[in-house]
């Protein structure tokens, strides 16, 4: 066969495939030798346009502190004197596609015995860009070009999901934390989550759950063992929770690319986080969360999101959870990176936000309390949605951290008192418009205020303006 004929046949094959695709006909793709395995590919292409009035954040704000307008220097225990701080005095604009997402869901038919099996792997491009996660802080290590244009691939979810007779469920792999029953109570925001005060975490775990259905209600009980917060703790974390939810009274919850119908519900959850230190023994961090969802205007059929109004709220607290369940939360307390002297021999590394050195120079877990609420209204017709909310984060034992110079008989250096921030306040308003089932436009304005101990720089504020386009598939 000559080259011309081969080219013609190739073009015909491509044309036939294209014709079937435009005709919305199914295309079979063999992905495995496992019989009857189905593959669903999903995700979205996201482009974010972001302007902040300070230069302290990338796309994901988290619980990172707003830069002070001035920086503080200390002399002994005297009041600090202020000097200019570029990040606190200058704005920042970003354009990014790093929150785009790609997921693969592999499903097997339910067996005669009632076992349904799934495997999910989901990726995005907000990966760990160590040793420098944000450009500009160490020239030559991470360029802005590579940070935004050549982002690192990241695993969001990777787990096996097994359900038996629609009552018993097991998840093994990386999935959302049970603390706060994530992601049921996430806010209706445009921004790349997490925002301040939001319980937001994914990690490797083995979870079991039982669902009891009575009439229009379900009672879910769940427990898991999870990846240790600290490898040297030699013990996994433990989580548990109960959730009562209606299958009838529902309203729409819309955030980013996600759209779901959430039922009237109340949930409680808790966590135990074993830690190893020197100075206070081997403490166990503890956390709790109470969550509610209330469809004020419920959907007519539980599926139509048009003209629905939902309110959600969460109260949470505990110690040793910062930087784990709350993205970037430290309130200015440095982590324990390594032992610093012979008196602290054997102190293992502890991530920031979990613990720090107190005024005695010994390791101590940091205590937090957070609360948040939001309202979201989906307008008649279902194309527009509006939401607003407020969150607050408080440090409950920051008086035990922070001074100047070297404190304690063992010589450990503690945080500067003026750099500690006992409170973060956050409020937002978002709008969503679906031009098509696969095309969404969204915008948000939010305001963050951080309260510092520094009397010369008591408050630091940031205003964020964001516009986002989403192609959802």
d(CA 68, CA 71): 6
pLDDT at 1 over 60: no
- CATH number, domain with residue 117: 2.40.160.10
d(CA 158, CA 164): 20
Contacts 24+ apart (CB under 8 A), 218-222: 218/244, 218/245, 218/247, 219/243, 219/244, 220/244, 220/245, 222/178
pLDDT at 373 over 90: yes
365 assigned to some structural domain: yes
pLDDT at 315 over 80: yes
pTM (2 d.p.)? 0.86
276 assigned to some structural domain: yes
In the numeric block, the tokens 């939401």 are attached to 387
Nearest CA to 193 among 450, 442, 461? Answer: 442
> What is the per-residue pLDDT for 15?
42
Residue-level length of the chain: 473
Count structural domains, the chain. Answer: 1
> What is the per-residue pLDDT for 139?
53
62 assigned to some structural domain: yes
12 assigned to some structural domain: no
175 assigned to some structural domain: yes
Give me the residues paired with residue 436 across strands.
Answer: 439
d(CA 218, CA 116): 19
69 assigned to some structural domain: yes
Query: Could you report the per-residue pLDDT of 245-256, keeping only the tens digit for each?
Result: 999 999 999 999
Sign of dihedral through CA atoms 402, 405, 407, 412?
A: positive
85 assigned to some structural domain: yes
Strand, helix or coil for residue 9: helix
> What is the per-residue pLDDT for 171?
98
Given pLDDT bands bounded at 50, 70 and 90, which one contains residue 356?
confident
d(CA 321, CA 330): 10
pLDDT at 82 over 80: no
Query: Which structural domain range is residue 271 located in?
Result: 37-472
Query: Could you report the per-residue pLDDT of 145-197, keeping only the tens digit for each?
Result: 888 888 899 999 999 999 999 999 999 999 999 999 999 999 999 999 999 99
17 assigned to some structural domain: no
């Amino acid at each position: 066969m000559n080259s011309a004929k081969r080219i013609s046949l190739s073009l015909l094959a491509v044309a036939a495939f294209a014709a079937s695709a435009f005709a919305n006909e199914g295309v079979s793709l063999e992905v495995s030798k496992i019989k009857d395995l189905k593959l669903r590919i999903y995700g979205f292409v996201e482009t974010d346009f972001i302007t902040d009035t300070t230069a302290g954040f990338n796309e994901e704000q988290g619980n990172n502190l707003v830069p002070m307008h001035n920086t503080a220097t200390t002399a002994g225990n005297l009041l600090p004197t202020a000097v200019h701080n570029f990040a606190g005095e200058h704005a920042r604009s970003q354009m990014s596609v790093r929150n785009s997402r790609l997921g693969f869901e592999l499903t097997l038919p339910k067996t005669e015995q009632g076992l349904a099996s799934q495997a999910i792997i989901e990726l995005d491009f907000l990966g760990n860009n160590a040793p420098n996660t944000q450009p500009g802080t160490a020239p030559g290590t991470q360029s802005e070009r590579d940070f935004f244009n050549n982002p690192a691939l990241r695993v969001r979810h990777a787990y096996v999901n097994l359900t038996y007779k629609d009552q018993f469920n097991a998840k093994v792999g990386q999935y959302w934390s049970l603390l706060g029953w994530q992601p049921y109570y996430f806010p209706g925001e445009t921004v790349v989550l997490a925002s301040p005060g939001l319980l937001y975490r994914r990690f490797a775990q083995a979870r079991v759950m039982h669902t009891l259905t009575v009439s229009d209600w379900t009672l879910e009980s769940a427990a898991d063992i999870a990846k240790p917060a600290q490898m040297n703790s030699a013990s996994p974390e433990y989580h548990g929770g109960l959730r009562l939810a209606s299958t009838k009274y529902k309203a729409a919850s819309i955030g980013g690319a996600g759209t779901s119908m959430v039922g009237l519900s109340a949930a409680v959850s808790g966590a135990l986080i074993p830690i190893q230190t020197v100075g206070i023994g081997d403490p166990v961090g503890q956390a709790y969360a109470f969550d509610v969802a209330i469809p004020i205007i419920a959907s007519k059929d539980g599926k139509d999101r048009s003209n629905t109004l939902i309110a959600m709220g969460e109260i949470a607290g505990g110690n040793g959870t910062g930087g784990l369940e709350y993205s970037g939360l430290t309130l200015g307390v440095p982590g324990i990176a390594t032992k610093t002297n012979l008196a602290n021999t054997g102190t293992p590394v502890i991530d920031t936000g979990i613990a720090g050195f107190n005024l005695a120079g010994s390791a101590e877990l940091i205590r937090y309390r957070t609360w948040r609420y939001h309202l979201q209204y989906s307008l008649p017709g279902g194309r527009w949605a509006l939401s607003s909310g407020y969150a607050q984060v408080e440090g409950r034992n920051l008086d035990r951290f922070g001074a100047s110079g070297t404190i304690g008989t063992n010589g450990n250096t503690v945080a500067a008192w003026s750099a500690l921030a006992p409170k973060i306040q956050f409020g937002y308003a978002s709008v969503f418009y679906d031009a098509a089932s696969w095309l969404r436009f969204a915008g948000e304005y939010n305001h963050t205020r951080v309260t510092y101990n520094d009397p010369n720089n008591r408050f630091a504020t940031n205003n964020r303006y964001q516009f986002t386009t989403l192609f959802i598939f």
